[in-house]
Structures are given as structure tokens and as C-alpha cells.
Structure 1
Amino acid sequence: MFSLIADEATDCAAMAQMALCVRYLKDSEIREEFLGVQMDYIRGQGYDGASKMSGLYRGVQARIRQQYPEAVYTHCKAHCLNLAIIHASKCTYVRNMMATVQTVAFAFNMSAKRLLKFQETLGCDPTSREEMEERQKLQSSCETRWAARADAFHTFLCLYRTVVTSLEDLGANGDTKAAANSLSVLQFDFIITLVTAEHVLAAVVELSTMLQQKACHLLRAATETRVIIATLKASKMKCLALLMVVPVSTATAERSFSTMRRVKSYLRSTMTTERLSGLGLLNIYQEKKLDAERIVDMFAAKKERRLALIFKV
């Protein structure tokens, strides 16, 4: 038994060409080959989401199932992942960030003057040069394989200081386009979105690569997908926890000053900071019950005192 895999592309003469492959088991090894087959043994079909191929009633998969009902159709999971990334990237912040990264990359790579300035700045930054190894320029984003954009975002993040310095220097020398790009990459929205998108795609790109391997099967794909989802959920909770602890205002600290005025008055102006802090806590948390016996025991146990606070039998 086997499954049929098909995809379509346009050649250099603008003619549509279709590739047909089969996926089968031989000696417990998964294989995908260009082979002539007997359709009686077909058990599966795999295409992308094109309506001509995946149409429910008139698509190729539907017509094949009319003659061979056991040929179950599977939408290419790598293509599904790519569509999911595209859908998630419709957010305005993500779309603007991707456009800025692409614009800056083109601005440097398509201009000899800007590229020379970029390479000179990179040469003066040993940290960025070490992280990028042999790379000497930014990477442009792939237009179709969105998971592959993780590499472009990672490169941009590693070279962020070099990018900003180069743009500012070019802008100071009259390059208005570089000056505008400099303002864009310094925006908080751009920075936080770039870091977040790079983190998410760095995890997803491994899944995308795995889904395109010949040896990958549905059980492994489902297992690895659950692992990625769990990892991203954990990262989401950490980010939410961080946002929760970031203060919104300093009102609580300001309210404590009213306690300070009651505790440290004109008659007690020589009070030390440690004593003020202790009395302030007692005053603010008056509703909390204190164990006087335990406090005396802790005070007495710190060192020997003239007054016998603890009686030994």
C-alpha cells in the first residue's frame, strides 16, 4: 500500500508542471519516490490547499476517492503550519515589524554606499562580528516560507547595534531614508515585536523542518507539535508574569509617606533608618497579629544581655 503526493509549480516558460510521488514502506523504512504504481493499493493522498487539488467535491482528492475510497486525503502539514504563521502575522505590529526589517535589509543590500558603511561599523563591533561569524550583511525575509524568516529576524537582532549606528551615521550625513529607518527601528513597538517574533519562529522553524523530512509520519508530527505548543505556552506564561510584576504607578510608595509623618515626627527626628523602617512596618500592618513571646525569644537569643530575658532551668 502507498500514498500519493503531488505538487505543482511554474517553470521558466510559465507552464504549470506537476510532480507526482508515492510514499510507502519497505523493510520498515519510510520512502518517498517517483514511481509508477498500481492504484488499487493507494491508501492516502497529500496535496497543498489549492482548490483544484483539495476541493471537497470536484478536487483531485475527491475524484480519486470516488474510485478508491480508502485513499484518505491529508493537507500538507508543512503548508498548514505556514498558513498558521501567515494568519498569526496579520497583527498590525507584526506586519509593520516585518515590513521594517525587509525595508532596512533592502536599503543596505541594494546600496553599495550603505553596505560599505554597514560593514565598516560591523568591523568595529567585535561582539556582533563574533555572533554573525562570516556574514557581512542582513538577510531579506522569504516571501513564501514564513518559518524561514526566523533566520532573518535572528540576524537582525544580533546586528541591531550595528544597524542602528550605521543608520544614524548615514542620516547625519544627509541620507533621509536612513534617518527615517533609524527612527523606525528605535520604536519600542518594533523592538518588542521583533524579539517576540524571533523567539516564536525559532521554535516553529524546527517543527517546519521536521515536517518536511521523508521519515516524518503523523504520530511524530503530532507529538512534536504538542511539544512546541507546550513550550510556547510556557513562554507566554513567563511573559504574562513579567507584565504582571511591572508596576503601573508608584501610588503605594507614596501612601507610605503618610505613615512616615506619623512615625518620625519633630520630637523623634534623630530616629535611624532601621528603626523608622521597623516602626513603619508595624504601623502599616496593624491588622497582623504578632506573637510577643516569640519576638522576645528571638531578641534574647541574638546575644548575651544584662537583663535575663530567658530563664534557664
Structure 2
Amino acid sequence: MEREHWRHVLIRIAAIVKRLAKNTLPFRGDDERLNVENNDLYLQMVKMVDDTTGFGLATKLQKALIKLALDIDGIRGQGYDNESNMSGTHKGVQRRVHEMNPRAFYTSCNAHSLNLALCDMVNCRSKAVSFFGMIQRIYTSFSSSTKRWQIFKDNVKGLTVKPLSQTRWESHVESVKPIMEQTAQIREALLDLAETNEDPKVNSEAESLATHELQNFEFLLGMVMWYRLLHAVNIVSKFLQTESMDIDHAIDLLQGLVSFLEDYREIEFPIFMDETTKKRLRSATLLSLLNSCMNLEKYLEHYELSDISGDDLCS
């Protein structure tokens, strides 16, 4: 037990050292003693890091119950997230509490389980990973400097782009929504960035996102599909985390989500295709749309006569 404890201590110390080194932060300060003001960053972070092993957290829980004059034998249920230090079947908090009180049955956090299922679903598909990587690239293109962010604000008057959350996958809906609802404006902002920025790398990235990714049918289709899916999951996830959540309503919502996913797979795809086609047309600039119409006029031409007028079709 003690050996395991010190192994975790060493892991946490190594993590602190790596974090400071990665961010080129100084280790030493005015004072190299614990629990004094103005000591170095390393000691400050060591003090912040506590024993987060199953043993350490279970011990803290036990002490807190004693302080509150509550008997641990009165526990009839436990509910934590799916991290190994909390839910581990051998050394997690739930296991150690169950050893002290066999009637303290454990149930995993449904909201966290739903989040993990969504995370695994995305990470097992390369196209999904690529799609969300593109969403993050669009955000980074504008957020890397105040000047670039101002270009975004000058072109997009509604929702701002947001970074992807690495812990709450269902909240990715907030990152997809601004791009889905403002595709044309964000494309113009990227083109503006490509024309005005002096960094060739930034210019190339912005132009590529504007002329390729945001005009790519597969990306636009993925945006429509993922927004609908994430929106449905997010509603259920938020309810599962509310203090007023009741089990009957939670079961109804989860069953409704399962039905939604079944219909989503079977009958929704043609709807997504139609919506994506309309979105692609809306996101096209007037010039590119005119060029397409003129090309169609030329394609239908025979003996200098055509079935359509490119100008009339565009207008």
C-alpha cells in the first residue's frame, strides 16, 4: 500500500516538472521552503497536488464523514465518474468504501459514461477525427492574435468560434454551431485574413480553409450531421447532471436518445444531403456562383445557342 502511494507521488512530481519545462517557467523563487509566501513555482504546485489515489480519496471521505458526525455504515449508494481512482474495481474509492460498508453499492455516473461513449465513437473513425481537427483549425486561425480576432469580428457579427473541449465531448456542439450557422461569413473572414496577413504560413492556412474545407461537400455534410447528433446528446447530458434529475425522466430521455440514433441512421441521411446542398449554395460567393452558372450555360451550348442564360440563372 505504501509503495503504491509513493509511486503515485513520483508520477505527480514528474508531471509537475514536465509542465514547468514545457511552458519554460522558472523552478526556483525567492524562498525554497514549503508553506511560505513567494516560494518557487515548483513548491507551490507540489503543495497544490494532493493524494488523488483511491486510497487517498477514500481516506479523505472517511475523515470528512467523521467530522460531520456521519456514520459510513449509513451509506447505501455511491456514484462517481469512470476514472480508475474513483470507480476502479480493485483500488478505486468505490471499492474501498464497499469494503468498509458492503451495502454501499456503486453506480457509475451516467453523464460521464455518455460522454465517454461519444468520445470513443469519434476517436474510432478517422474522418470524424479529421472533421473536428478542421473545426479546431478554424478557431486557431482567428484566436492566435488580437489582430486576427478583430478580422473575425469585422466579418462575423453573430456567434464567435469556440475551441473544442477535451473533457466534455457533447459540448463540441458549441464549437460546431457558429461555423454551421455562419459558414459564408466565416469563409469571407478567412479570405480577408489570407489577403491581409503578412505571414505566408497563416495566409496559406486561411486560404486553404476558405477555398477547400468550407467548400468541401463532405465537410459540410459532416457539420450538419454532427451538429444534430451533438445537440441531441447535449440535451440528455445536461439533464443527467442537474440536481433535480429524477430516474424516471432520465430513463425516458435515454430511451428517446436511443430511438433518435436509430432513426438518425436509417432515415435522416437524405435530409442531411438536401440541407448540405442548400448550405453549399448559400456559402458560395456571388462570383463563384456566377462562374458556375456561366459554365453550365457553355456546357449546354450547341451551335452558339444554349438552353439557359448564365446571367439569368444566377440572378
TM range (shorter): 0.5 to 0.7
* Residue deviations 1:193-216 (CA, integer Å, cap 9, x gap): 111111101111111110111121
* Shift in CA distance, 68/241, structure 1 to aligned 2, threshold 3 Å: same
Give aligned pairs, total. Answer: 214
Q: How far apart are 1:161 and its partner, in Å?
A: 0.6
Is 1:15 matched with 2:46? no
User: What is the aligned partner in structure 2 of residue 273 from structure 1?
Assistant: none
Alignment counterpart, residue 235 of structure 2, candidates 206, 224, 228: 206
User: Contact between 1:93 and 1:190, CA under 8 Å: does it hold in 2?
Assistant: no
Q: Aligned to 1:189, what secondary structure does the other structure show? A: helix
* Residue deviations 1:128-183 (CA, integer Å, cap 9, x gap): x4xx3xx4x31111121111111111111112111112223333456222112222
Between the aligned partners of 2:272 and 2:134, the Cα distance in structure 1 is 26
User: What is the aligned partner in structure 1 of residue 206 from structure 2?
Assistant: 178
User: What is the aligned partner in structure 1 of residue 165 from structure 2?
Assistant: 142
Alignment counterpart, residue 101 of structure 1, candidates 112, 130, 135: 135
TM alignment of 1:265-304, pairs within 5 A? none
User: What is the aligned partner in structure 2 of residue 160 from structure 1?
Assistant: 183
The share of aligned pairs that are identical, in percent, is 25
User: What is the aligned partner in structure 1 of residue 244 from structure 2?
Assistant: 215
User: What is the aligned partner in structure 2 of residue 70 from structure 1?
Assistant: 103
User: Contact between 2:76 and 2:105, CA under 8 Å: does it hold in 1?
Assistant: yes
**Greater helix share, structure number:** 2
Alignment counterpart, residue 154 of structure 2, candidates 101, 106, 120: 120
Structure 2: 5+ residue stretches without partners: 1-15, 17-43, 62-66, 275-315
TM-score between the two structures when normalised by the length of structure 1: 0.61
Between the aligned partners of 2:204 and 2:133, the Cα distance in structure 1 is 18
User: Contact between 2:86 and 2:93, CA under 8 Å: does it hold in 1?
Assistant: yes
TM alignment of 1:205-244, pairs within 5 A? 205-240=234-269
Between the aligned partners of 1:203 and 1:69, the Cα distance in structure 2 is 37
Q: Tell me how large the CA RMSD over aligned residues is.
A: 3.0
* Shift in CA distance, 185/35, structure 1 to aligned 2, threshold 3 Å: farther
Between the aligned partners of 1:157 and 1:113, the Cα distance in structure 2 is 24
Structure 1: 5+ residue stretches without partners: 1-9, 22-33, 123-128, 246-313
TM-score between the two structures when normalised by the length of structure 2: 0.60
Between the aligned partners of 2:213 and 2:142, the Cα distance in structure 1 is 15
Is 1:85 matched with 2:137? no
Between the aligned partners of 1:157 and 1:36, the Cα distance in structure 2 is 53
**Greater strand share, structure number:** 1
* Shift in CA distance, 242/194, structure 1 to aligned 2, threshold 3 Å: closer
Is 1:48 matched with 2:69? no
Between the aligned partners of 2:121 and 2:204, the Cα distance in structure 1 is 33
Larger Rg: 1
